[in-house]
């Protein structure tokens, strides 16, 4: 198939050869010259500024210095300087293919249910959106809007389908009916729906991609070919990184740790020892589904991470679909920029929620654009504008509700701003509405309550189950938030204040409000320079109108709304969160949209030599980002290492004591049926033994079992009875983590060496079990002066030995004594 609009068939170099199709902007020649000069100067200065900025999480080394390592970093991918001691090789590619097939089944089956949801929604609102298949069959790439419709169908089907599967897993899990067979049947039915509804659009999208590559090959368009090759390389690293064990604390504590507990219990229930598992768990339900499918929590974690990694390329598809509608020449560039951002790789290969959150934010924004513009996709000419708007606000609500299902802050970041958009009338957009609407009553007062109502109902579909679950389990629909309003089970004012301090903004300095923008755009290890480069260009450069009017008239309004959305997101992130970097990462899709539109506008009217220089800059950025992704800065990637060996390695890296206990059980040094009470340790995903634990924000189990509510110690018999009732055979204390918590969130004063000594005096625990060499201690001379002072004031018993042999005890494992020594019979 041929395509007249070549910008949509080429990846990174967007429409570089079509400057002749531009009208002369209605701007004085001198003004245009000055604007282009300012744009060129901006590109130069922004590039220099970005690369002299340091990487704050990696010694603050400047990107310019890091460039000197890039060639060696890339060569090590082909011919590593040091051979890995772990088993590795292409043979282990096959185990990754097996996990990938299971992940594909989960995604395709879910997408089928998403298509059925869209089909039912279109019937509900009496529209024919996405379901007139004959138009898809007959459409050609030259028809305006058809590509956007194809992209929308695939994008929303997959995104909403995954949310649907997640919600169903929640409901079934609460009923205690987690079943591999039941889930497999669900996916088989969904796959049938995908085959019926999505086969032809998927084939069409593949044909468009292949047509772009073929045309680039025929025309010897080197930049386009390089763009496609680079995109495939980035996707390759995301795939291998997605089938890798994790080293992240939060993931092991609750993103995968929570689903593992549900899987082992066979149902979803309130976990009073892990407050994080009361968050909305949309992505974690997909992880649970993967574990159920594999009938194994470790193998399921590989499928889970890979499934969540799919949200990365899915977001790229959403960007492409959005731009195909409003910025067709920037469509592939926007998707390419997103794929090459190190943040995309990092969030795709760590089982966080932010990648899915980014996807659903984009979906809610895209659907809201259709709802406001009344600019119908070509595939639905017969649909009335009012029905079209209602349908799209419903889809926007579903997407916003799915974003809320990922995490609570989506209420501020997504639900409220888009909800306001259902009410507020932007003059320029409203004018476009009136001019394109087929139904004069579409802009009447009726929409002032219909749109908010429809949007809110959509939100509740995927947000409501989490609110109901928490209200049922704790009495607080947004547990543990708003404790002063709703209260909550297993929570009190002290824990609530501790939570508030740990998650409150660090300060409200006006200067910081400005400098944090710099941190987002440049001073982040995983940011791409292309975001900063293209961001202001649409407002610096004069607008150019295509003679064939392929770009809709409301395209400037889309940029304005994206900018307003970003401003809202940034303000709420700065005002109401503790400002960690990944919380702002969902802004990246909209930043990609604006940057791609700006870079495209720049490339369309500059001389050939300038355009080629821009292509070189894009290519250099991709090389640098690829080096970041594949090196230690990006994230741990096991590549082609045997997965069981890689899992053992990551376990030894993140918590070597848990790995040592696993090994001791495997070798018979410890019994297989032990149950360990963990104190100070919540990174429990790698544990292959039974345990009890609590997070830093929950009540300390050891303190609850050893003391009365008034803080007085119980008797030895009472404590022994409680330990026996809980089946505890060993006590593990992670002093390293307790010390870390004491300098950040705070930790109960009960967890100290004096309490352990008292338990020994009461003959409740024995002497600590000896660790293998190098585990459970570190050289005291490596401590900083402040850390040493803290330890000497709080727990000097942890520093043992003299001189160069002085050690800091970092972790201990004690056997629990079922009876005092004096009561045992003499031999």
Q: Taking 70 as the threshold, does the pLDDT of residue 807 lie above it?
A: yes
**pLDDT, average across residues 333-348:** 98
Q: Taking 60 as the threshold, does the pLDDT of residue 106 lie above it?
A: yes
Q: Kind of pairing, strands 690-692 and 777-779?
A: unpaired
CB 373 within 8 A of CB 325: no
The pLDDT of residue 783: 87
Task: Indicate the pLDDT class of residue 824, thresholds 50, 70 and 90.
Answer: low
Q: Taking 60 as the threshold, does the pLDDT of residue 431 lie above it?
A: no
The pLDDT of residue 379: 34
The pLDDT of residue 126: 85
Specify the range with the lowest mean pLDDT, choosing from 419-428, 656-665, 676-685, 817-826: 817-826
Task: Indicate the pLDDT class of residue 449, thresholds 50, 70 and 90.
Answer: confident
Tokens of 827: 């031999």
**What are 747-769's pLDDT values in tens digits?**
999 999 999 999 999 999 999 99
CA gap 378, 684 in Å, rounded:
52
The pLDDT of residue 445: 52
**pLDDT, average across residues 731-738:** 97
**pLDDT, average across residues 357-364:** 99
The pLDDT of residue 129: 59
The pLDDT of residue 446: 52
Put residue 220 in one of left, alpha, beta given phi > 0 → left and psi -120 to 50 → alpha: left
**What are 373-410's pLDDT values in tens digits?**
754 444 344 445 677 889 999 999 999 999 999 999 99
Q: Which residues does residue 765 pair with via DSSP β-bridges, in sequence order?
A: 816
Q: Taking 60 as the threshold, does the pLDDT of residue 18 lie above it?
A: no
**What are 579-623's pLDDT values in tens digits?**
999 999 999 999 999 999 999 999 988 888 999 999 999 999 999
The pLDDT of residue 12: 45
The C-alpha torsion from 419 through 420 and 421 to 423, rounded to 10°, is 100
Task: Convert 170-237 into a string of H (helix), E (strand) and C (coil).
Answer: HHHHHCCCCCHHHHHHHHHHHHHHHHHHHHHHHHHHHHHHHHHHHHHHHCCCHHHHHHHHHHHHHHHH
**pLDDT, average across residues 125-145:** 49
Where is pLDDT greater, at 784 or 687? 687
Q: Is 662 helix (H, G, I), strand (E, B) or coil?
A: helix
**pLDDT, average across residues 436-444:** 43
The pLDDT of residue 3: 38
Strands (E) located in 363-414:
none
**pLDDT, average across residues 15-26:** 37
- Give the strands of the sheet with 730-734, arranged side by side: 690-692, 675-679, 730-734, 811-815
Q: Taking 80 as the threshold, does the pLDDT of residue 516 lie above it?
A: yes
Going from the C-alpha of 61 to that of each of 58, 370, 620, the distances in angstroms are 7, 44, 19
Q: Is 525 helix (H, G, I), strand (E, B) or coil?
A: coil
The pLDDT of residue 548: 42
The pLDDT of residue 27: 53
Q: Determine which helix (DSSP H) or strand (DSSP E) holds 496, and give its type and residue range.
A: helix 493-503
DSSP string covering 432-471 = HHHHH-S-GGGGSTTHHHHHHHHHHHHHHHHHHHHHHHHH
**pLDDT, average across residues 408-430:** 85
- The set of residues, in sequence order, having a beta carbon less than 8 Å from that of 177 and lying 6+ positions away, is 267
**pLDDT, average across residues 322-338:** 95
Q: Taking 70 as the threshold, does the pLDDT of residue 624 lie above it?
A: yes
Q: Which residues does residue 22 pair with via DSSP β-bridges, in sequence order?
A: 546
Percent of the chain with pLDDT over 90: 75
The pLDDT of residue 23: 37
CA gap 337, 164 in Å, rounded:
29
Look at residues 319, 318, 328, 418 and name the one whose alpha carbon lies nearest to residue 368. Answer: 418
Put residue 31 in one of left, alpha, beta given phi > 0 → left and psi -120 to 50 → alpha: alpha
The answer, yes or no, to whether the previous bond of 316 is cis (omega within 30 of 0) is: no
Computed over every residue of the chain, the mean pLDDT equals: 89
Q: Is 88 helix (H, G, I), strand (E, B) or coil?
A: strand
Q: Is 64 helix (H, G, I), strand (E, B) or coil?
A: helix
Specify the range with the lowest mean pLDDT, choosing from 218-222, 342-346, 659-663: 218-222
**pLDDT, average across residues 810-826:** 81
CB 66 within 8 A of CB 210: no
CA gap 806, 799 in Å, rounded:
7
The pLDDT of residue 228: 94
Specify the range with the lowest mean pLDDT, choosing from 3-12, 106-115, 243-252: 3-12
CA gap 608, 617 in Å, rounded:
14
The pLDDT of residue 555: 84
Task: Indicate the pLDDT class of residue 550, thresholds 50, 70 and 90.
Answer: low
Q: Determine which helix (DSSP H) or strand (DSSP E) holds 483, and give its type and residue range.
A: helix 483-486
CA gap 282, 367 in Å, rounded:
20
Strands (E) located in 621-757:
675-679, 690-692, 730-734
CB 336 within 8 A of CB 533: no
**What are 30-86's pLDDT values in tens digits?**
688 888 899 999 999 999 999 999 999 998 999 999 999 999 989 988 888 777 889
The C-alpha torsion from 545 through 551 and 552 to 557, rounded to 10°, is -80
**What are 215-242's pLDDT values in tens digits?**
878 777 788 899 999 999 999 999 999 9
Q: Determine which helix (DSSP H) or strand (DSSP E) holds 779, and give its type and residue range.
A: strand 777-779
For the chain, what are the domain ranges?
Answer: 6-630, 655-823
Q: Taking 70 as the threshold, does the pLDDT of residue 143 lie above it?
A: no
**What are 279-311's pLDDT values in tens digits?**
999 999 999 999 999 999 999 999 999 999 999
- Give the strands of the sheet with 799-800, arranged side by side: 777-779, 807-809, 799-800
The pLDDT of residue 442: 42
The pLDDT of residue 425: 65
Task: Indicate the pLDDT class of residue 634, thresholds 50, 70 and 90.
Answer: very high
- The set of residues, in sequence order, having a beta carbon less than 8 Å from that of 813 and lying 6+ positions away, is 657, 661, 676, 730, 731, 732, 733, 768, 769, 771, 776
The pLDDT of residue 134: 39
Q: Taking 70 as the threshold, does the pLDDT of residue 545 lie above it?
A: no
């Amino acid at each position: 198939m041929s395509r007249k609009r070549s910008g949509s068939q080429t990846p990174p170099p967007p429409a570089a050869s079509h400057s002749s199709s531009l009208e002369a902007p209605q701007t004085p020649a001198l003004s245009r010259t000055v604007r282009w000069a300012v744009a060129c100067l901006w590109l130069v200065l922004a590039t220099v500024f970005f690369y002299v900025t340091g990487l704050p999480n990696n010694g603050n080394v400047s990107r310019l210095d890091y460039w000197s390592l890039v060639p060696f970093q890339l060569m090590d991918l082909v011919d590593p300087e040091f051979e890995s001691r772990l088993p590795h090789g292409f043979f282990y590619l096959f185990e990754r293919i097996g996990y990938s097939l299971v992940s594909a089944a989960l995604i395709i089956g879910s997408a089928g249910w998403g298509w059925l949801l869209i089909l039912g929604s279109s019937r509900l609102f009496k529209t024919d959106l996405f379901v007139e298949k004959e138009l898809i069959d007959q459409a050609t790439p030259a028809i305006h809007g058809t590509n956007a419709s194809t992209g929308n169908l695939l994008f929303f089907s997959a995104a909403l389908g995954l949310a649907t599967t997640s919600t169903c897993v929640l409901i079934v899990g609460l009923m205690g009916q987690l079943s591999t067979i039941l889930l497999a049947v669900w996916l088989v039915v969904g796959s049938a729906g995908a085959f019926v509804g999505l086969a032809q659009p998927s084939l069409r999208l593949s044909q468009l991609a292949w047509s772009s590559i073929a045309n680039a090959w025929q025309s010897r368009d080197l930049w386009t070919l390089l763009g496609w090759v680079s995109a495939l390389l980035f996707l390759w690293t995301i795939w291998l990184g997605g089938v890798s064990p994790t080293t992240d604390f939060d993931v092991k504590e609750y993103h995968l740790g929570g689903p593992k507990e549900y899987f082992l219990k066979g149902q979803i229930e309130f976990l009073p020892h892990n407050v994080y598992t009361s968050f909305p768990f949309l992505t974690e339900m997909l992880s649970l589904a993967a574990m159920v499918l594999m009938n194994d929590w470790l193998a399921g974690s590989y499928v889970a991470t890979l499934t969540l990694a799919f949200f990365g390329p899915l977001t790229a598809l959403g960007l492409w679909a959005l731009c195909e509608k409003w910025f067709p020449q920037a469509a592939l560039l926007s998707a390419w920029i997103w794929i090459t951002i190190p943040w995309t790789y990092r969030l795709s290969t760590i089982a966080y929620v932010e990648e899915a959150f980014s996807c659903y934010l984009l979906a809610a924004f895209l659907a809201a654009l259709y709802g406001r513009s009344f600019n119908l996709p070509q595939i639905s000419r017969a649909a009335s504008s009012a029905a079209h708007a209602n349908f799209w606000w419903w889809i926007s609500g579903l997407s916003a509700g799915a974003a809320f299902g990922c995490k609570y802050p989506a209420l501020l970041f997504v639900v409220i701003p888009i909800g306001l958009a259902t009410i507020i009338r932007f003059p320029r957009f409203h004018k476009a509405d009136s001019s394109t609407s087929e139904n004069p009553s579409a802009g009447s007062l009726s929409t002032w309550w219909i749109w908010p109502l429809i949007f809110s109902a959509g939100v509740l579909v995927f947000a409501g189950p989490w609110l109901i679950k928490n209200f049922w389990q704790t009495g607080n629909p947004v547990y543990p938030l708003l404790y002063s309003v709703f209260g909550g089970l297993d929570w009190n004012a002290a824990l609530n204040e501790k939570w508030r301090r740990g998650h409150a903004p660090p300060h409200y300095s006006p200067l910081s409000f400005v400098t944090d923008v710099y941190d987002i755009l440049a001073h982040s290890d995983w940011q791409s320079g292309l975001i900063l480069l293209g961001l202001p260009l649409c407002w610096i450069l004069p607008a150019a109108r295509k003679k064939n009017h392929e770009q809709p008239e409301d395209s400037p309004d889309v940029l304005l709304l994206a900018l307003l959305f970003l401003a809202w997101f940034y303000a709420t992130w700065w005002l109401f969160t503790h400002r960690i970097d990944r919380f702002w990462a969902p802004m990246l899709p909209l930043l990609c949209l604006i940057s791609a539109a700006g870079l495209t506008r720049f490339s369309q009217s500059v001389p050939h030599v300038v355009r080629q220089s821009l292509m070189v800059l894009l290519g250099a950025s991709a090389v640098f980002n690829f080096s970041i992704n594949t090196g230690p800065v990006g994230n741990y990637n096991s590549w082609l290492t045997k997965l069981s060996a890689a899992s053992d390695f990551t376990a030894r890296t993140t918590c070597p004591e848990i790995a040592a206990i696993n090994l001791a059980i495997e070798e018979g040094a410890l019994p297989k049926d032990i149950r360990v009470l963990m104190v100070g340790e919540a990174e429990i995903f790698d544990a292959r033994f039974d345990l009890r634990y609590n997070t830093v924000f929950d009540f300390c189990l050891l303190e609850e079992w050893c003391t009365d509510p008034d803080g007085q110690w119980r008797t030895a018999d009472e404590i022994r009875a409680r330990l026996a009732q809980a089946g505890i055979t060993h006590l593990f204390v992670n002093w390293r983590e307790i010390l870390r918590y004491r300098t950040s969130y705070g930790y109960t004063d009960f967890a100290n060496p004096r309490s352990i000594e008292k338990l020994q005096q009461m003959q409740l625990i024995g002497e600590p079990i000896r660790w293998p060499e190098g585990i459970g201690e570190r050289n005291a001379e490596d401590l900083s002066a402040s850390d040493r002072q803290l330890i000497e004031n709080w727990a000097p018993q942890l520093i043992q030995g003299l001189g160069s042999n002085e050690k800091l005890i970092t972790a201990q494992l004690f056997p629990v004594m079922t009876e005092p020594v004096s009561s045992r019979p003499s031999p």
